[in-house]
Amino acid sequence: MNLMFDRIGSLFFALVGALFIAESQNISASAYGSQVGPNMFPFGLGIILILLSLRLLWETYKKGVAASSSESQSPLRYKRFLFILAATVLYVLLLEKLGYVISSFAFLTYAFTMMGSKSVLKSVIVSLLFSVGVYVIYVHLLKGTLPGLPTWLGV
């Protein structure tokens, strides 16, 4: 854990959360008089992001006071971060072409492997269950829209 990196990261994500909250106010409210409109999800995510950022900031403060500089800090892993960042950009670019399930499955499997998952089989199973589960819940139960399977699959 690099305390300075975590502190800067927590402040950055708190600002992103505040941006989510501010921009969610620009989304129109529901036209049918419902209390839950399309702005509630980004608003809730912004609040959660700010709360988690504040917790991270508090934990780094407590750890910094308790540990001082007696503990050795783990080195930053820029290479791993850049690979996952590149995979995220590729995921966004391929989401429409491959569909949600395939692109999310591939991205999650790669991310779990890059983060040091010891079992590739478990990573594949969790990625598949998560991708299909989110798709089924969001599209079929909640009647939302996500990119489906690509047409070239013929399914």
Instruction: Report yes or no on 72 lying in a domain.
Output: no
Q: How far apart are CA 59 and CA 64, in angstroms?
A: 8
What pLDDT sits at residue 54?
Answer: 93
Q: What is the pTM of this model?
A: 0.61
Q: Verify that 121 and 94 share a domain, yes or no.
A: yes
Number of domains present in the structure of the chain: 2
Q: Verify that 7 and 56 share a domain, yes or no.
A: yes
Which of 16, 39, 65 finishes a domain?
65
Q: How far apart are CA 14 and CA 46, in angstroms?
A: 8
What pLDDT sits at residue 7?
Answer: 86
Q: Verify that 60 and 82 share a domain, yes or no.
A: no
Per-residue pLDDT of the chain (155 residues; tens, 9 = 90+): 577 888 888 899 999 999 988 888 887 765 555 555 667 778 888 899 999 999 999 988 888 766 555 555 566 678 888 899 999 999 999 998 898 999 999 999 999 998 888 899 999 999 999 999 999 988 888 777 878 877 777 66
Instruction: Report yes or no on 7 lying in a domain.
Output: yes
Which of 19, 43, 65 finishes a domain?
65
Instruction: Report yes or no on 108 lying in a domain.
Output: yes
Structure-token pair, residue 135: 């798709």
Helices (H), the chain: 3-24, 40-67, 78-98, 100-114, 120-135
Q: Verify that 95 and 147 share a domain, yes or no.
A: yes
Q: Verify that 97 and 58 share a domain, yes or no.
A: no
Q: Verify that 57 and 82 share a domain, yes or no.
A: no
Range of the domain at 102: 78-151
Contacts of 17 (CB under 8 A, 6+ apart): 45, 46, 47, 48, 49, 50, 53
